[in-house]
Amino acid sequence: QVEQVKLLDRFSTSNKSLTGTLYLTATHLLFIDSSQRETWILHHHIAAVEKLPLTTSGCPLVIQCKNFRIVHFVVPRERDCHDIYNSLLQLSRTAKYEDLYAFSYNPKQNESEQVKGWQLIDLAEEYKRMGVPNDYWQLSDANRDYKICETYPRELYVPRTASKPIIVGSSKFRSKGRFPVLSYYHKNKEAAICRCSQPLSGFSARCLEDEHMLQAISKANPSNRYMYVMDTRPKLNAMANRAAGKGYENEDNYSNIRFQFVGIENIHVMRSSLQKLLEVSGTRGLSVNDFLSGLESSGWLRHIKAVLDAAVFLAKAIAVESASVLVHCSDGWDRTSQVCSLGALLLDSYYRTIKGFMVLIEKDWISFGHKFSDRCCQLDGDPKEISPVFTQFLESVWNLTEQFPQAFEFNEAFLLQIHEHVHSCQFGNFLGNCQKEREELKLKEKTYSLWPFLLAEQKKYQNPLYNPDFSPELTLLEPNTVSFNFKFWRNMYHQFDRSMHPRQSVFNLIMSTSEQNKQLEEDIKELEAKIKQRNGRSDVVLVKEQEQTAPPAPVALKSPPCFQKEQPPMPVTDAVRTIEGSNAADNRYSELVSEFSKAEPAVVSLEYGVARMTC
């Protein structure tokens, strides 16, 4: 505990600062300012701690977080500062999985809730939803004991015609044994997205089993003779890999494949690109020109565009040409995950719902072995393995939500929250590098799953503009990938710089409008009920009236169309009016009400005042 610490604002030009007390807990660094506002920083989020040269007001300490928060403390005494510095260094670098927050995090749930939480996302169920197994695709038990590929899950879907020897043979010809398996099956087009790693082809090596495997995939799609093989790497990189005995498929050896390079850069390029982007966005007193040229030279948006372009290509191949596609990069767990998951997102509206997006992440990222632990540096390890691959995926999704504000059930806050927890190590989902490792860690018993927690606060993550009717099942999104459409994602990279956010939160406004509408609906239901009650009585009145005089009846018959045209109330007797209300108007209401629940108000971009913290 250190008192009299100052927290500086990164961008405000004035030298205003908050003074408060810094506490160090086992899991968090906590800063409480004089007005009792709390800032929590999880130790796992800390990417770097830096001591700056001593200034007159004290010893400055800069903490950079993986969720792009940067805090600048000034500690009055050098000794305190040094203590904090050392303990943070120690605490932020964990050597063993067992020391991660997830293993000590206890949200007061009993065991059955914990188990249920883990069962929330069931991938077997998901494959069933896609329509497999079917006549062409089957569940293979080849990898049941992780014997063929350690980084794949136990359950894999392969073409029915691919026998076990073919699978084994093919896996020997693929880097890290990651042979071609099904990632997404498009029911209507009968076309599949498959994924694998690069072949060990070198300059001339061939493998008959692998060729059979591809043929089996191609044959599993009766509607098209050819299939695409997408290598997501730049051609030059793929060529260079040939010298190391790896490489890419030779079109002459495989029958009926169309080979395509897509040119997404590797993890090292991405890492340094993000580094440059953060340098630009962290500069104080930046001019517009510096910002734009910095944005350009970081290349970040170029990479995002490349990823999205690849996904669009993939989705079009399936939806337009009905061709199956096999995607790979080097090891098939970074760029391949990005492209496959984005492709599926474009093809299938289910993945654009909150639940579906969770399924997508579980399937294409977690189960197929995206190395979250290495890429997010959960444990102290090789810094060269760190790369913002998953961040790029989220940013691509965000760009899609900007172009299609009505197509997604979730909002930006959902994406940010997932990003937060990928790095927080608070939940078990993203720990480890592959399923095998997760089983060894006994994550399902010792930790909790993130998804039920997100579902519980679903309200926060709902997109008020979502219109499920806009995209019925399996509608292809066709985003425009001209450069003008890519924007700097301020709410990701400046999530915690409060002075950077728009001053007005549209999100809350729309939410309150939709609340109001709901209230209105309820009122109407109440009114309906009341009218029904009264209707009983007025029916009697009407019957009596009809007995007495004939004329009122035709009036009552004519009035409904008038009512629909929304003309002012017409001069009729009270009794007749009540009947009108209960007939014509009520029908109209139920129409309106149903329209309402479908379509909710909208805005160009949703902004969130302050982002929530993990705690």
List residues binding another protein (CB under 8 A): 11, 281, 286-293, 295-296, 299, 301-302, 305, 402-407, 465, 467, 470, 477-480, 482-488, 490, 494, 499-500, 502-504, 506, 509-510, 513, 516-517, 520, 523-524, 527, 531, 566, 569, 581, 585, 588-589, 592, 595-596, 599-605
**Residue of 100, 202, 79, 81 lying closest to 438 (CA atoms):** 100
Taking alpha carbons only, the member of 385, 293, 323 closest to residue 194 is 323
Residue 332, annotated ligand binder? Answer: yes
Q: How far apart are CA 88 and CA 64, in angstroms?
A: 12
The nearer residue to another protein, 366 or 531, going by C-beta atoms, is 531
329 among annotated binding-site residues: yes
Find, among 428, 454, 399, 394, the residue nearest to 612 by Cα. Answer: 454
Q: Distance between CA 480 and CA 478 in Å, rounded? A: 7
* Cross-strand partners of 137: 159
Which CB sits closer to another protein, 38 or 290?
Answer: 290
Cα diameter, the chain: 102
d(CA 610, CA 508): 12
245 is in an annotated binding site: no
83 carries a ligand binding annotation: no
| DSSP string for residues in 473-540 | TTPPP----SGGG----HHHHTTT-GGGS-SS-HHHHHHHHHHHHHHHHHHHHHHHHHHHHHHHHHHH
Establish whether 334 is an annotated binding residue. Answer: yes
Q: Is 335 annotated as a binding residue?
A: yes
User: Which of residues 4 and 283 has its CB atom nearest to another protein in the complex?
Assistant: 283
- Order of strands, sheet of 325-328, starting from the edge strand that comes earlier in the sequence: 181-186, 191-196, 325-328, 227-231, 257-261
Q: Residue 124 corresponds to which tokens in the numbers above?
A: 């077997």
Extract the tokens encoding 510.
């729309």
Angle between the 208-219 and 164-172 helix axes, to the nearest 10 degrees? 120
By beta-carbon proximity to another protein, the closer residue of 111 and 566 is 566
Residue placing its CB nearer to another protein in the complex, 367 or 401 = 401
- Residue 330 annotated as part of some ligand binding site: yes
Pairing mode of beta strands 156-159, 46-51: unpaired
Query: Judged by CB, which is closer to another protein: 411, or 424?
Result: 411
Q: Which is nearer to another protein, 138 or 491 (CB)?
A: 491
Distance CA 599, CA 405 (A): 12
The least distance separating another protein from the CB of residue 264, rounded to whole angstroms, comes to 13
Provide the CB-side half-sphere exposure for 200 (13 A, CA).
14
Query: Residue 331 annotated as binding?
Result: yes
Let me know if 338 is exposed, middle or buried by CB neighbors in 10 A (0-12, 13-18, 19+).
Answer: buried
Q: Pick the closest to residue 124 from 182, 195, 179, 192 (CA basis).
A: 182
Helical segments of 69-181, H only = 78-92, 101-104, 111-119, 123-130, 164-172
Q: Is 137 annotated as a binding residue?
A: no
Q: Is 329 one of the catalytic residues?
A: yes
User: Measured between alpha carbons, how far is 601 from 595 in angstroms, rounded to an integer?
Assistant: 12
Find the catalytic residue in 194, 329, 376, 425.
Answer: 329
Detail the residues annotated as belonging to a binding site.
266-267, 329-335
Active-site residues, by number, are 329
Detail the residues annotated as belonging to a binding site for substrate.
266-267, 329-335
